[in-house]
Structure formats: structure tokens, C-alpha cells
């Protein structure tokens, strides 16, 4: 086989699927050597399979894409637009963004979303924490500290997305959660002992009977690295800075573990999801009733004692606890909640107690770390 042309490709460096084009990348999922065109095909077809297997959409559905301007949601918008046209899903796609109020981070990423909106010709709705809750994330962090930032942000965002969708008259929000996020969640739920969420950690479509809004994750089986590659080859416009508050959380340690594992065995993300789909709680064993005679006298005593909470209130007995029912509503804001008061209202009430009573005009110290980094970057000497 003499070289007729100088840039003849060796047979061994051809794409492993079409064998006709030069391979340009190693597929993160299984290290297959692929050309660009074949990568697009497998990437998009896998997402299409995921969507059809789970029967996510019905023709005529209006679907909101939770768009942050980051790579996941940008690729999601692009792929859904492609698939919608290719396979005639008959969907009307709308972009829905949340403005958490993190200066130097979200304001820039929202600009990206606005550019995407023009490019993909989709409607865009932006909902802000400040408008909804009268708190921006920067203010929350300055009040509650950086360690719990993700707790607040997560709870508030969930509600904000629902409210945004309701405003748009849409009952289905798709988010860019990818396979890495999914695997991370499975591990996290095990590590934190969160049995309530364990069985549900890998469900692709979540819906509560009382809530009109469904959520789904078409990227459930899509590797983060492949999303990055897809965005790169398709030259998609996305915003790539990580949230400046993120690295502090416990999730970070799990993420590191997952990265190390993926380096040793690339399939491990899929493997964890497969495991996650099989995790199920055993039926509860009936409680043993032996040795009751010993504790009888003690029980009577216990009933007479009453614990006083630190704030002076008294907890009501367990018997009166309200049964968990799907469809309960928060007494304060009317949002879906398993308790009397929803999680967001509870967090906000806690914050409200600690809010500074007096503020200095033009005070910029509440602007978070993101803003500070940004300012430092722009300094010149």
C-alpha cells in the first residue's frame, strides 16, 4: 500500500463505525474512535432513544427548557430543536431561565441565554429570586454563609422553575441534568443515607399528583464530557464558568470521587445509573413486641414528661403528625409541600430572622465572590 497522496489516512485511524472517515475523537463513554459525523449520529440517537423509551413527549406539547446558559442546557436546547424537526415530535419549545442574583456569574450567563433565544428562535421567560422571594443569592450567602448555599439555591430554584412554567402556561419542564449528575445523585443519596430519595434517584420523569408540572431529564444517559464535545464541534455558544459558590458543598467530594472512578473505568457513570435503577427499599419488617413488660413503667413516666423546645414552644405528640400525602399545599405560599409549610418558606423564614435590620446605602459587600473575582480580573497595573 504505497502512499499515492501524502495525506493518506491509515486504516487503523479510521472511524470505528463508518470506516470511511478519519476518526477525530475518542468517545468518552466507551473510548471508541469516531469521526465527527458518526459522533453526532450516536449522540443524538441515544437521546432520541431515551426520549421515546420513556415516552416523554406527546405531539402538541408545549415544553419549557430550563436554560442557564451553561453547556448542558445550551446543548439540550440545540439537540431538542434538531430532534423535534428530524423526528416530528410536534413540540413547541420555550426557554425558561432563573436569575438567582449572583453578580458576575448569572448576569453573564443570562446574556448567553438571550443570544441562544435569537439563534434558536424560541420564546424566553426569566424568573428572578429577587422578584419571587425578595432575596438574591448574594444576599442569602452573606446572611447564611457559603456552606449551605447549595441547599438554599436548590430549594428555591425548584420552586422558581415551577412558577415560571405556570406563568408560561406550560406543564412540562426539561432540564439539562446529565448522566454524571445522575450518578452523583445516586452516590450522594447512599452516602447521606437519604432513603426517601433513594428509589427515585434515577427516575427520568418526575411528577407529583398534586402538581400540574412535570420535570424530565432527556440527558439522563448522556455523559457530560460528550456534551462538551458536542458543543465544541457544533460551535455552540455557551457560558462555561462554574458557580462560584459551588465548590464548598459535600457534593464536591462525591464529584471528585466520581471523576477519579471515571478515569479508571469510563463506563462507571452508566454502571452507577444501572445500579441506581435497581436500588429498592425492602418492605418494612413488623416491629418486634418482645420485652414490653420491662418498659411499661418507664413508658408511663415518659408520657408525663414534656420537652420544651429552645424557643419556648412545645412539640405536639407524634400521633397527631399529618400523614404524608401527595398534593398537600404549603399554608404560606400555596406551593406543593409534604409538610404544613414548604421547604422554601421555612428556609426563607429562617433567613428573615437573621436579616440585617439596617443596611448601608450603596453597600456592595453583599455582592458575592463572583463579583469580587471579576473585579480583580479586570484590574491592571
Partner 1 sequence: MGSPIEYLDGSDSRLCSRCATEKGVLITRKEVFCKACFIRFIRGKQRKQMQDEKYKVKYGKAKELAALNPTKILLALSMGISSLVLFDVIASLLQEQMEMHKGNTGFELVVLNIDEYELTSLNNSIQAVIPKLKSFFSYVDISFKVLNINSYILDETLIKRIRLYPDFHATMTDSDKNVSSGLKDLLLSCPNKSSAEDLLTIVFDELILRTAYVENCSTVVYGHNMTRIANEIIALTVKGRGSSIHEKVLDHVVHYQDKSIQIVYPLKDVLRAEVEAYCNLIGLSDLKLESTKPKATINRNMTIRDLTTNYFNQLDATGYASTASSVVKTGEKLGPPKNFESSGSQSITQCQVCGIDIHQNPQNWLKRITVNESAPLVTEEDEEYLKLYNESKSAMASLGETEESEAITNPLGICYGCIVTLSSIKAEDGFLWPIRNSAQEKEDILNEYILTEDEEE
Q: What residues are designated binding site?
A: 66-68, 72, 98, 176, 181
Residue 73's SS3 state is helix
Q: Scan residues 51-80 and list those touching partner 1 (CB under 8 A).
A: 53
Q: Does 33 bind partner 1 (CB under 8 A)?
A: no
C-alpha cell at 138: 448574594
Q: Does 265 bind partner 1 (CB under 8 A)?
A: yes
Task: Please choose, out of 11-19, 102-110, 317-325, 350-358, the segment that lies near partner 1 by the rule CB under 8 A.
Answer: 11-19
Task: Please choose, out of 28-36, 138-146, 344-352, 362-370, the segment that lies near partner 1 by the rule CB under 8 A.
Answer: 28-36
In the complex with partner 1, the residue whose CB is nearer, 22 or 167, is 22
Binding site feature residues for ATP? 66-68, 72, 98, 176, 181
Cα separation values, 86 from 41, 45, 90, 297, Å: 12, 11, 10, 73
CB 176 within 8 A of CB 66: yes
Task: Please choose, out of 7-15, 127-135, 302-310, 328-336, the segment that lies near partner 1 by the rule CB under 8 A.
Answer: 7-15
Per CB under 8 A, the list member of 280, 308, 316, 358 interacting with partner 1 is 280
Task: Please choose, out of 94-102, 145-153, 193-201, 319-327, the segment that lies near partner 1 by the rule CB under 8 A.
Answer: 193-201
Q: Does 166 bind partner 1 (CB under 8 A)?
A: no
Q: Does 19 bind partner 1 (CB under 8 A)?
A: yes
Q: Does 191 bind partner 1 (CB under 8 A)?
A: yes
Number of residues lying near partner 1 (CB under 8 A): 58
Q: Scan residues 202-231 and list those touching partner 1 (CB under 8 A).
A: 221
CB 277 within 8 A of CB 271: no
In the complex with partner 1, the residue whose CB is nearer, 159 or 216, is 216
Q: Could you give the CA distance from residue 238 to residue 144 in angstroms, rounded to a whole number? A: 30
Per CB under 8 A, the list member of 59, 60, 283, 312 interacting with partner 1 is 283
Q: Could you give the CA distance from residue 221 to residue 236 in angstroms, rounded to a whole number? A: 21
Q: Are strands 205-206 and 92-99 parallel, antiparallel or unpaired?
A: unpaired
Q: Could you give the CA distance from residue 344 to residue 333 in angstroms, rounded to a whole number? A: 9
| DSSP assignment letter at 19 | S
Note the residue count of the chain: 381
CB 136 within 8 A of CB 101: yes
Query: How many Cβ atoms are within 10 Å of 206's Cβ, its own excluded?
Result: 12
Query: How many Cβ atoms are within 10 Å of 161's Cβ, its own excluded?
Result: 20
Give the H/E segment covering residue 25: strand 25-26
Q: Does 250 bind partner 1 (CB under 8 A)?
A: yes
Q: Scan residues 329-368 and list those touching partner 1 (CB under 8 A).
A: none
| DSSP assignment letter at 307 | P
Q: Does 274 bind partner 1 (CB under 8 A)?
A: yes
Residues that bind partner 1 (CB under 8 A): 1, 9, 11, 14-15, 17-21, 29-30, 35, 37-38, 40-42, 45-46, 49-50, 53, 186-187, 189-195, 198-199, 221, 250, 253, 257, 260-261, 263-265, 267-268, 270-272, 274-283
Amino acid at each position: 500500500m504505497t502512499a499515492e497522496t501524502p495525506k493518506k489516512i491509515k486504516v487503523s485511524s479510521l472511524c470505528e463505525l463508518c470506516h470511511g472517515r478519519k476518526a477525530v475523537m475518542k468517545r468518552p463513554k466507551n473510548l471508541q474512535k469516531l469521526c465527527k459525523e458518526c459522533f453526532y449520529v450516536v449522540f443524538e440517537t441515544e437521546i432520541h432513544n431515551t426520549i421515546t423509551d420513556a415516552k416523554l413527549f406527546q405531539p402538541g406539547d408545549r415544553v419549557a427548557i430550563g436554560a442557564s446558559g451553561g453547556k448542558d442546557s445550551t446543548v439540550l436546547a440545540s439537540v431538542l430543536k434538531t430532534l423535534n424537526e428530524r423526528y416530528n415530535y410536534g413540540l413547541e419549545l420555550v426557554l425558561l431561565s432563573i436569575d438567582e442574583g449572583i453578580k458576575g456569574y448569572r448576569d453573564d450567563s443570562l446574556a448567553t441565554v438571550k443570544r441562544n433565544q435569537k439563534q434558536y428562535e424560541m420564546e424566553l421567560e426569566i424568573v428572578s429570586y429577587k422578584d419571587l422571594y425578595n432575596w438574591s443569592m448574594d444576599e442569602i450567602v452573606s446572611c447564611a454563609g457559603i456552606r449551605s448555599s447549595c441547599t438554599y439555591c436548590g430549594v428555591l430554584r425548584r420552586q422558581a422553575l415551577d412558577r415560571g412554567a405556570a406563568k408560561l402556561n406550560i406543564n412540562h419542564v426539561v432540564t439539562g441534568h446529565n448522566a454524571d449528575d445522575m450518578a452523583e445523585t445516586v452516590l450522594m443519596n447512599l452516602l447521606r443515607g437519604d432513603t426517601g430519595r433513594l428509589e427515585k434517584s434515577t427516575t427520568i420523569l418526575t411528577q407529583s399528583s398534586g402538581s400540574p408540572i412535570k420535570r424530565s431529564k432527556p440527558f439522563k444517559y448522556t455523559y457530560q464530557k460528550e456534551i462538551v464535545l458536542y458543543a465544541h464541534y457544533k460551535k455552540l455558544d455557551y457560558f462555561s464558568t462554574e458557580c462560584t459558590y459551588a465548590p464548598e458543598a459535600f457534593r464536591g467530594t462525591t464529584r471528585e470521587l466520581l471523576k477519579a472512578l471515571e478515569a479508571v473505568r469510563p463506563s462507571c457513570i452508566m454502571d452507577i445509573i444501572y445500579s441506581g435503577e435497581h436500588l429498592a427499599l425492602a418492605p418494612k419488617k413488623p416491629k418486634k413486641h418482645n420485652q414490653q413488660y420491662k418498659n411499661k413503667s418507664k413508658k408511663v413516666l415518659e408520657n408525663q414528661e414534656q420537652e420544651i423546645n429552645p424557643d419556648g414552644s412545645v412539640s405536639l405528640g407524634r400521633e397527631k403528625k399529618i400523614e404524608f400525602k401527595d398534593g398537600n399545599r404549603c399554608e404560606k405560599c400555596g406551593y406543593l409541600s409534604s409538610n404544613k409549610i414548604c421547604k422554601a418558606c421555612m428556609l426563607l423564614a429562617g433567613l428573615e430572622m437573621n436579616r440585617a435590620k439596617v443596611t448601608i446605602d450603596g453597600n456592595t459587600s453583599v455582592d458575592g465572590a463572583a463579583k469580587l473575582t471579576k473585579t480583580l480580573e479586570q484590574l491592571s497595573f
